[in-house]
Amino acid sequence: MGGKFSLDGHHALLGKGTEDEMEIFGYRTQFFRKALCIAGYLFSCGALLLVFYWKPNWDVWANCAPCDLEEADTVLLRATDEFQRYKRKKVMSLNLQHLLDSEKPDLLFSEDQDSVIYRAIARPGLKVRFIQVQKIRYAWDVPGKAFVRVGSLEDSNTCYEIHRKFGDGLTKRQRDLRKLVCGPNAIEIEIQPIWKLLFKEILNPFYVFQAFTLTLWLSQGYYEFATALIILTIISIGLTVYDLRQQSVKLHNLVEEHNKVRVTAWTKHEGGHQSESCHLVPGDILLLEGQKLSLPCDAILLDGSCVVNEGMLTGESVPVTKTPLPQADNVQPWKKHSLEDHRRHVLFCGTEVIQTRPSSKGPARAVVLQTGFNTAKGDLVRSILYPKPLNFRLYKEAFFFMGGMICVAFVGLIYGACVYAHNKRPASQTALMALLLLSGVINPALPAALTTGIVYAQWRLKKRKIFCISPQRINICGQINLVCFDKTGTLTEDGLNLFGVVPCQDASFRPLHSFSSGLLPWGPLCQAMATCHSLLFLEGRIQGDPMDLKMFEGTGWEMEESGSGDPESGAPKTCSVVKPGPKASKAPLGGMAILHQFPFSSSLLRMSVITKELGKDTHGLYMKGAPETVASFCQPMTVPSSFQAELKSFTAQGFRVIALAHKELSLDAADSLRDLDRDEVESGLTFLGLLVLENRLKGETRPVLEELREARIRTVMVTGDNLETAITVGRNSGMIPSGDRVILVEASDPEDPHPASVSWQEMEDTQPCKETKQDPCITIYDKSSSSFHFAMNGKTFQALQKSFSSLLTKILVNGTVFARMSPGQKSSLVEEFQKLDYYVGMCGDGANDCGALKMAYAGISLSEQEASVASPFTSQTPNIQCVPELIREGRASLISSFAVFKYLILYGMTLFLGCALLYWVCIWKQNGWYVSRKVRVNCGHHKLERILQATEFPLLQMQIFGNYQFLLQDGVAMAACLSTPQVWLWTKKSGSGNSRTGWWKESFKGSAFCSSPCSPGNQSSFPFGDNGAPNGTSAIRNMVVSYENTTLYHLDTLNCCIMAFVFCKGRPFRKPIYSNHIFTCLMSIWLGLCVFILFADIEVIYKGLQLLCIPNLWRGYILIMIVVQFAVAVFVEDALLENRRLWLWIKALLGIRSSSKYRKLQRQMEGEASWPPMNHRDFTEDAKRNRKSKTYINPAYENSEDV
């Protein structure tokens, strides 16, 4: 039935090149295979179905035959990451005949035949095949023979095509068709039913294993022990289900309002009408007439302008102005036409429209770009619903270790079976006892216990106003060894202080005008500062970018609400108006109207406005931006020859410098401002001068960077600001220590006939002298200094990526300052660091750092929002103090996970060895003929007290109240608490079995007996006689109540106390154990109780716990063994396994080196005299020849000890 199929047709990539990329395989269900599988489900009592639930790929392979995707009714999805997880999806079908009737699809899509929806309609059946993957719908592209994403407009549309195809809206039939294929515009998160959450949790492999073990224990009569574990399991599952349910409710409430927005949509031939936002489809026209609106979809602005608050996306609640998409007749797709500035035309779902401004054609209009989970808000929700799996070393190695424990369990299974089979016991009994031994090795509570530390770390982070949407990343924060910081708003203050302006007149700079001496005099420079900004007058106050606000306040001018001015002034109603205020310098005009704005772009590094003097027909253009960029648009004759020197004199002192320029424009009334070519109007400007602002460090910056440096965590600055300013901030903050050299790297792309080149130049440290504020000081460094830092701009970084990829890795090992970096370049830098095996954290304000924050292992957005799409972590405290706090919590959580893992593994091994020893002793004593019908090996109910108190309480308190000290070293200590006194006790031999029995008897006969009602003198000291036969009718009971069991009980109970104490120590990761008062009290009480039971002669206790009263001398021996075991455990754990110096010495002795790529690079560069290059230029050919050259370790960052 499957027939022949092509490999290419059977396999493809779904969502190629996106974050959701997956491999997809086509399969067709076969009736015969399905019938066999159903029979397998019945005969296996559902076990096969459970296996298929865990392994969906096995399910598909068993039920289906491979085929082409075009014929498939089932697809198998495989993630392209290293985990390669599988998912099974059913191919569904939509019948469009009832909707289209006699109307042909060609007529509906006559102007948009490149649409995915048109290409997805199969003819002549008029059906659409699709799959739903992580809330996203993929339809089958019939001509393209691939599943493609639906729910958004095609990116291939040009600006002109978007206006032409969708400018007049869609017809009702087109809307209905698109809604059926794309689905409703809704971000629907159903509240998961409790029964579904319960079943998902119960079907976890560990809980299934626990159900299996509990069934075994109950079948053998361990009612108390099994009941206790059942209660604990029910509580654990209940708490987990409750937590998942609460999360589901919170997420549902977060998006519920999104689906209830009322909007005004425009339908072709019918006009505007009110409707629910869930009916919107890609291509619909939205009319934006209201003052405020929460956008229910992503949309492209076609007419008018909007002011929106994008705090949900960026974490920065600053009004952003959106401009309409130009109607340029260009063959490039609309996104490429606008480069990185396409976002300035897009209104994102979940953001709030604060203000709209109509165009000459009518109200502001926008075309729906994406709907549902395809939107920006949908992407945020999906990132919470489907977090990416993290390849964390702890989990990976724990998985392999668990595999080893499973092998030990099977060895125990074989051992138990062999012992019972050797004594010719019944097969059923042999199987049961062997399975009992297998079940004691692996603790089913291990996964839940490992997440406990994460849960409480997240709770403590929330108390510190650090919110997390990806809890699994908390443990990864414990391994961060490199942190990238944005500069403005992160290391430095958000608000800039005006220092002064340097006017330019006749191509020469005038003396600095300080704002402390008064407001700026009237002139073109004052006009530029008053008009060239993105400020808005909203809700009775001026709002906008903090730097623009400072600049505007420095002029003393005032802003009026749009359209509130005098109609006689000639100012349009849709523009902002600025006028001189009472404190402003005297001006010969009544005010200026800001007619049009070319917004600031991080890729263009500039913004400009077109203005008009009130009451006149004089138009002008004002520009501000990065000094180098603005100067390149000015007439060379207007730029002073000392431009670079003047700029450097300020940036070297840490000031932020903005350049201003001006141009007179001749515009007719008929000219449309939106159709003006930006490059044309922004040419031939006159240079006006420099605006100098103080960029002060935050008070917490320097101490935090010093703290990270002491912890050997490398810090890097990634900013969009000037390189000189960034270097100065780096020195002032301590990121570049005093005395270290800074080497400027400059690279250029190849330009015929010149190849790509890279130059190296050492920079002098120019700092303001303490004696005067005017003249700078130059610090001369020792050229032999081996501590150095590379600094470069975004252009150099991009050129190095393209032409010097091997050289880039060497530079990154010592790269500290990266300036003029675009958002895309910031993301690429984080990725390059990760390729070198750094655990990278990123801290930014969320504005231009969204990509880098999401790319980093731990992205921290400094935002007032509780959570944003920008990063996994959001800190409401606007300084970098949150970075060490997060690392502390991450490392505390990590070390708690280690401790819990070691404790539970050793607890299982203790139980396993104790049971194995009892198996051997009890079977050996029977001489092959005596067996109880219900042998109760003492791993059961009389250990209930130990399990409840020694396991659960210490474990719970270790997690809840486990404190931390400071930062965690790499490396995990292996457990060595289980020493060998009990093994020595049971393996000591003196010839034969009877002689061993004699040894026990002789030991107790020669001891001082207990003088109490439970004295051994009043009962049998051993359940067997000298000939191996049972002593009386109580022999079956005495198989449990024996000296072996009693001794092992005391040893194991106290051993759990030892493990809890040894693994719960404080330094260097947490506070000392005695500072955890509740845990210390519980441990003390339990230890005292254990010692009391050991030495007490109270018959009620002995009978209740099914123990024998043993001689006092033997009790002393037990106590001595426990003390020795405690000393050995502490010595092994602290003096051996966690002795860092010892392991460094062993590594050095054996020649073991770190396998991290950046460590290997450091070793390769070690001792190379020619590195770093100084004051010369390399070309592409030279770089290729030097690819195998060595690198150099930077002592400023790296420790000489290779851990």
Residues catalogued as catalytic: 486
CA distance 341 to 599: 9
Tally of CB atoms within 10 A around 656: 22
| Helix, strand, coil percent content, the chain, rounded in steps of 5 | 45, 20, 35
CB distance 368 to 296 below 8 Å = no
CA distance 325 to 1015: 96
CA distance 655 to 396: 48
The distance of Cα 924 from the centroid of its chain, to the nearest Å, equals 57
Helix (H) or strand (E) holding 37: helix 31-43
B/e letters for 952-977, b = 16+ CB within 10 Å, e = fewer, are ebbbebbbebbbbbbbbeeebbebbb
- In sequence order, which residues have a C-beta less than 8 Å from that of residue 735 and are 6 or more positions away? 705, 715, 716, 717, 729, 816, 817
Q: Is the peptide bond before 389 cis (omega within 30 degrees of 0)?
A: no
Pairing mode, strands 788-793 and 776-779: unpaired
Helices and strands in the chain, H and E counts: 43, 44
- In sequence order, which residues have a C-beta less than 8 Å from that of residue 572 and are 6 or more positions away? 563, 593, 595
Query: Within 13 Å of residue 314, how many CA atoms lie on the same side as its CB?
Result: 18
Tally of CB atoms within 10 A around 1026: 11
Residues in the chain, overall count: 1203
Token output for 486: 């944005």
DSSP 876: S
Helix (H, G, I), strand (E, B) or coil at 779: strand
CA distance 1043 to 1020: 10
In degrees rounded to 5, what are phi and psi of residue 692? Answer: -110, 125
Give strand pairing partners of 29: 64
CA distance 1016 to 1000: 12
Token output for 687: 């240079």
Terminal Cα distance for the chain, rounded: 59
How far, in Å, are 335, 450, 537, 624, 656 from residue 496 at the CA level? 33, 46, 20, 16, 9
How far, in Å, are 747, 951, 1010 from residue 960 at the CA level? 53, 14, 42
Burial tier of 270 (Cβ tally within 10 Å: 0-12, 13-18, 19+): exposed
CB distance 157 to 334 below 8 Å = yes
Pairing mode, strands 858-862 and 873-875: parallel
The distance of Cα 918 from the centroid of its chain, to the nearest Å, equals 48
Query: Within 13 Å of residue 820, how many CA atoms lie on the same side as its CB?
Result: 21
CA distance 617 to 667: 9
Beta strands, E only, 695-781: 714-718, 741-748, 757-763, 765-768, 776-779
How far, in Å, are 170, 556, 629, 644, 759 from residue 513 at the CA level? 58, 15, 23, 19, 37
